[in-house]
Chains A and B, each alone.
Chain A
Amino acid sequence: MEQRNAGKHPEPPRREDASHMEYMTEVRNFAIRSWFPRIAGDVSSIAAAAGLPPAITRDEFAQLAPQVDQIPAVQGWKRLMRSQQQLAWQKLQDSYAADREYWEGQLTEAEERNRGRLHYDPDFVAPESACQDIHLQPGGYCGDNLAGYVFYHGTRVFYQGDNDFDEIHDSCADVMKLPADGQVRRVLDLGCSIGQCTTALKERHPDAEVRGLDVALPMLRYAHMRATDMNVDVHFHQGLAEDLEFSDGTFDTVFAYILFHEVPKHTFEPIVREAFRVLRPGGTFTVIDAPNADRLPPPNRMWAAYDAQYNCEPFSPAFGAADFTGLLAKAGFEDVEKGSSDSFLYNTFAVKPL
């Protein structure tokens, strides 16, 4: 099926890659919708037997973990989750690598076709934190020139087929909080990856100048090619969210979708400060990310612990534990509110005072 928002390379290289992704999506669905609910009861019972409340902290779960890990169905669930993820990435990566020159050429060709929209310094060196194999993608976001292609298809599996038309990115762009005066001339998408929110934001604010920023060049090159193919005029910048190149008061609104849980905790504050600085008075900041929740139901805790350690999300637990709204207030933001969310993610909104 043609992916509406995928640019001109909507499908992976071979029919068999598409079949394999379809299979992996089904395996993931099974692990999440069929297997996980069955172990959830056992995990909750262990917590209840230990006298714990219905929602527990990370430390409380750590006490239970040895017992939980004895449950055969928990062991199998973890194996299934990890192998599914590893095998899906590996096949995609091998497929693209088999015709590396062609796929790299496509990125370069887009840069030549649409100049002045991709901004990077060839000497930029990404920090170590951005070079983890996040979600087990081999080489992570920065390690392979073709990482953007692989990420695009790999995340289609991750979203279990619910994002084949960027539905999730579209709905994120829809919830972005607008400045009270309604003026949206410049928009910044922090940690934009392959630019799916960036283009969704531009489609909603066609007269605005929309810029995506990310640390990883392979993601940005793919983002740029995709936006070029889609004929959506946006800019992409390589840089660090905690050290923005833009001058004070540049943007009417700043947006960050699932960036924060993937950065080290010492950068939360600098990133928030930078967002504040580059916003104009009355500008808004929208953050959609993993829950900042001290306490979660025991099965969710188990999943979060699995994710951090075995799905390579090492920074995520610290974000979960952070007082993020407090951090926003400390940076000077007002009207900090946790909005409702229809997914498991939290929407947080803040306004720079006039």
Chain B
Amino acid sequence: MIELCQVSKSFDQLKVLDHLSFKIPKGKILCILGPSGCGKTTILQIVAGLLPIDEGQILKKESIQSSYIFQEPRLLPWKTVRENIDFVLPASTHYLEEKISFYLQKTGLQGYEHYYPYQLSGGMKQRVALVRAFVYEHQLLLMDEPFQALDIKTRNILFNQTHLLWEETKNTIVFVTHQIEEALLLGDEILVLSEKPTKVKEKLEIHIPRLQRKIDAPILQDIYKKVMYSF
């Protein structure tokens, strides 16, 4: 769907990406694993077209509408939960009502529609950002450590929702995380990145259907070790 060819990016003197190349396969979930500060957020911003690159090429076939769960919630402080969601949607949201309330319910936010961000906890704000990104019409979903502030239960629910969303839409997802388990359970492909200047250290594919994956299955344990080793 999108291909990065020999992409380099520096911030002032700091070289973050050094001739990085990889493909984002259409209709699959690509997980990106890497140490903190290696440039995962930078990569997502480049893919989203929010950040210009210094060198290299980005190949896209069509014009792709992407949705983004930023690493921080990025909600408008002067708007309520519901208004924040409406902010990114077209003027008439009739046909989306069902979808909105579905995700609000799944994320445990029903009843909080009229709360302002300052009245929400950090995890709740992140969940609002999640609903906003899910409801927004997209072909490519970029997720930057979306579950990091959440407890295990909510995390599992949302993890399954991400999975279900994918089953339903078969959209392309790029999922950034530093939790190896998350990547193993969700990814069709896993990219392991090195320290700065960042290169692809390892590229793994997992062919087991998502629903049948168990984290303690031997095959996944093998991959787990591989990833751990390359970290």
Q: Are A and B associated in one complex?
A: no
Query: Which residues of B does A touch, CB under 8 Å?
Result: none
